[in-house]
């Protein structure tokens, strides 16, 4: 099949899907087990042929290699990887967070016994999508899709950090077509349901299946490469400052904070890390409260943290069974891609700093910042602290550096220190209040006596002569 035929088939399919492909905000609403997702502002897509794109270190050609050596003999080096296997030392923190529960996507978990049941559903979704496309163009069939995928096989394999030599070309092509069509059709059906239209699909009628599939689709090892962003931004609003190489990256890009500029305050201005509070970043919730900081829940993006006039506003974090795998895979993606904004890595360090004990959880829960569906406070403390384990973190890349510096500057101010002394030493506070009451009484009594002494008695009337 010619390249022109493949292109026409893809364009016809995309045109039919233009009204059905889910937008970034709606994608987040379904995929996210966390609420209040904010879609980033759309910007003009960068020219894929620009000098900046050509010079990108993630996609160097053999001629662009800094040492001049030819890397074409190894396809895993000739391009930047975008889909990785989670390292063993990271997996050990929470093994189950990185393994799909019901559906495998791509080669990492292919043919695992516990995931084979969904293969029949993938074929059913593939046939549904194929029949719908055939109504527009009778020339498009399964063979056409596989032929088109064969053209992209080499580049697709290069997106993974492993060779997968045990998967031959035919099996790899069929896997990518089947998995890709499953995702496209699933998102189309969800958008239809989200718009209030009736969807007769068993997956949508089973209470546990759709949320589980959603979490599986957000696992780093369960991703398919997305074609170039020039083909994607036409239909989906995404942050085009960088590429979204797969669905997890696209989802992460929708959590663009309201002010996601590079931090203007550089951490190197703090000469010694031992001068930093708490665990090296910010005080815990109880200490902040003792310094007069008031915790307030706010709506909106999970990463939009604000601090002003002693008020620390933090969006609500819902804790349920899906929170751990979603957060851990978002962090794993940011750790695997040096050019991804470290939104959730920053959040992990922040949460680890402000939560030390169950008392800190009580403070955040009472403020409405944490809403916990199940589990105790101690379990939640362990979970939030574990997010920071095996995490490579550079404070200079953090998107909330300004807020952290403002919080720490306030806590070192004389006003905050006085508040802390008054709140932490009850005996001193009681004595001080008693002393002030006595002083106030003495002053009031003195003023009363002074006022009476100033009253002049009337002069006696002159006696008659």
Is residue 373 scored above 80 in pLDDT? no
DSSP per residue over 235-293, as a string?
TS---TTS---SHHHHHHHT---TT-SPPSS-GGGS--GGGS-TTTS---HHHHHHTT-
Angle formed at CA 55 by CA 52 and CA 56, multiple of 5 degrees: 90
258's tokens = 């309201």
Per-residue pLDDT band at 20 (split at 50, 70, 90): very low
Is residue 139 scored above 70 in pLDDT? no
Residue from 227, 223, 262 nearest 241 by CA: 262
β-strands 317-319, 370-372 pairing: parallel
Q: What is the average per-residue pLDDT within 48-67? A: 36
Query: What is the per-residue pLDDT for 449?
Result: 60
Query: What is the per-residue pLDDT for 270?
Result: 43
d(CA 148, CA 11): 13
Query: What is the per-residue pLDDT for 61?
Result: 34
Residue 333 in contact with residue 340, Cβ under 8 Å? yes
Residue 416 in contact with residue 292, Cβ under 8 Å? yes
d(CA 228, CA 9): 17
Query: What is the per-residue pLDDT for 274?
Result: 42
Of the ranges 2-16, 65-79, 238-252, 328-342, which is most confident?
A: 328-342
Phi and psi, residue 246, nearest 5°: -160, 180
Task: Express as a percent the part of the chain with pLDDT over 90.
Answer: 42
Query: What is the per-residue pLDDT for 109?
Result: 96
Residue 48 in contact with residue 266, Cβ under 8 Å? no
Residue from 75, 38, 207 nearest 153 by CA: 75
200's tokens = 């007769």
- In 38-113 the beta strands, taken as DSSP E runs, fall at none
d(CA 197, CA 189): 9
Computed over every residue of the chain, the mean pLDDT equals: 75
Is residue 454 scored above 80 in pLDDT? no
129's tokens = 């999508």
Phi and psi, residue 463, nearest 5°: -70, 150
d(CA 250, CA 28): 9
Per-residue pLDDT band at 374 (split at 50, 70, 90): confident
Of the ranges 116-125, 200-209, 418-427, 437-446, which is most confident?
A: 116-125
Per-residue pLDDT band at 137 (split at 50, 70, 90): low
Beta-sheet strand order (sheet of 311-315) = 294-298, 311-315, 306-308
β-strands 306-308, 294-298 pairing: unpaired
d(CA 416, CA 405): 15
Residue 236 in contact with residue 324, Cβ under 8 Å? no
Q: With the C-alpha atoms ordered 206, 211, 214, 215, is the resulting torsion angle positive or negative?
A: negative
Whole-number Cα distances in Å, 28 to 22, 169, 200, 238: 9, 33, 22, 12
d(CA 385, CA 356): 8
| Tens-digit pLDDT profile for residues 303-325 | 899 999 999 999 999 999 899 99
């905050």: which residue's tokens? 416
| Tens-digit pLDDT profile for residues 199-208 | 888 898 888 9
């009472």: which residue's tokens? 366
Q: What is the average per-residue pLDDT within 408-415? A: 89
| Tens-digit pLDDT profile for residues 210-220 | 999 999 999 99
Which helix (H) or strand (E) segment is 372 a member of? strand 370-372
Per-residue pLDDT band at 354 (split at 50, 70, 90): very high
- 105 compared with 417, residue with greater pLDDT: 105
Query: What is the per-residue pLDDT for 57?
Result: 33
d(CA 248, CA 330): 7
Q: Please report, for the chain, the start and end positions of each structural domain, with discontinuous segments joined by +.
A: 3-47+57-253, 267-413
- 47 compared with 168, residue with greater pLDDT: 168
385's tokens = 């602290």
- DSSP secondary structure letter of residue 83: B
Query: What is the per-residue pLDDT for 143?
Result: 80
- In 90-233 the beta strands, taken as DSSP E runs, fall at none
| Tens-digit pLDDT profile for residues 264-277 | 444 444 444 444 55
Of the ranges 128-137, 167-176, 412-421, 437-446, which is most confident?
A: 167-176
Is residue 68 scored above 60 in pLDDT? no
302's tokens = 């999970």
């Amino acid at each position: 099949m010619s390249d022109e035929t493949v292109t026409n088939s893809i364009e016809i399919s995309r045109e039919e899907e233009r009204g059905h492909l889910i937008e970034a905000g709606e994608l987040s609403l379904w995929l996210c087990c966390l609420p209040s997702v904010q879609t980033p502002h759309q910007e003009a897509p960068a020219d894929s042929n620009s000098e900046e794109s050509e010079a990108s270190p993630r996609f160097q050609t053999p001629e662009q290699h800094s040492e001049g050596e030819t890397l074409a003999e190894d396809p895993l080096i000739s391009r930047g990887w975008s889909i990785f296997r989670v390292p063993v030392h990271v997996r050990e923190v929470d093994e189950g967070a990185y393994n799909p529960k019901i559906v495998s996507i791509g080669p990492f978990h292919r043919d695992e016994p516990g995931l084979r049941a969904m293969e029949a559903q993938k074929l059913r979704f593939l046939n549904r999508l194929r029949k719908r496309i055939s109504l527009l163009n009778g020339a498009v069939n399964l063979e056409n899709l596989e032929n088109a995928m064969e053209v992209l096989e080499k580049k697709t394999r290069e997106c993974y950090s492993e060779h997968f030599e045990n998967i031959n070309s035919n099996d790899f092509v069929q896997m990518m077509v089947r998995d890709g069509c499953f995702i496209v059709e699933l998102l189309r059906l969800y958008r239809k349901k989200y718009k209030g239209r009736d969807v007769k699909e068993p997956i949508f009628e089973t209470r546990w299946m759709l949320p589980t599939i959603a979490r599986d689709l957000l696992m780093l090892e369960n991703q398919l490469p997305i074609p170039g962003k020039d083909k994607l931004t036409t239909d989906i609003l995404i942050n085009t400052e960088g590429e979204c190489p797969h669905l997890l990256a696209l989802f992460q890009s929708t959590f663009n904070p309201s002010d996601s500029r590079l931090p203007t305050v550089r951490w190197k201005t703090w000469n010694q890390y031992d001068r930093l509070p708490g665990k090296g970043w910010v005080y815990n919730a109880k200490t902040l409260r003792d310094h007069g900081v008031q915790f307030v829940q706010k709506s909106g993006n999970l990463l939009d943290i604000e601090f002003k006039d002693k008020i620390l506003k933090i969006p609500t974090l819902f804790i349920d069974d899906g929170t751990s795998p979603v957060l851990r895979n978002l962090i794993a993606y940011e750790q695997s891609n040096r050019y991804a904004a470290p939104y959730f890595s920053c959040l992990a360090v922040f949460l680890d700093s402000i939560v030390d004990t169950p008392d800190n959880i009580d403070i955040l829960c009472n403020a409405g910042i944490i809403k916990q569906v199940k589990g105790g406070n101690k379990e939640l403390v362990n979970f939030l602290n574990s997010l920071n384990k095996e995490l490579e973190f550079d404070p200079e890349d953090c998107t909330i550096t300004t807020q952290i510096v403002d919080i720490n500057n306030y806590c070192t101010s004389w006003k905050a220190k006085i508040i802390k002394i008054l709140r932490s030493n009850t005996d001193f506070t009681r004595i001080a209040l008693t002393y002030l009451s006595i002083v106030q009484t003495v002053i009031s009594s003195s003023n009363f006596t002074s006022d009476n002494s100033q009253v002049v008695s009337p002069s006696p009337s002159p006696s008659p002569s």
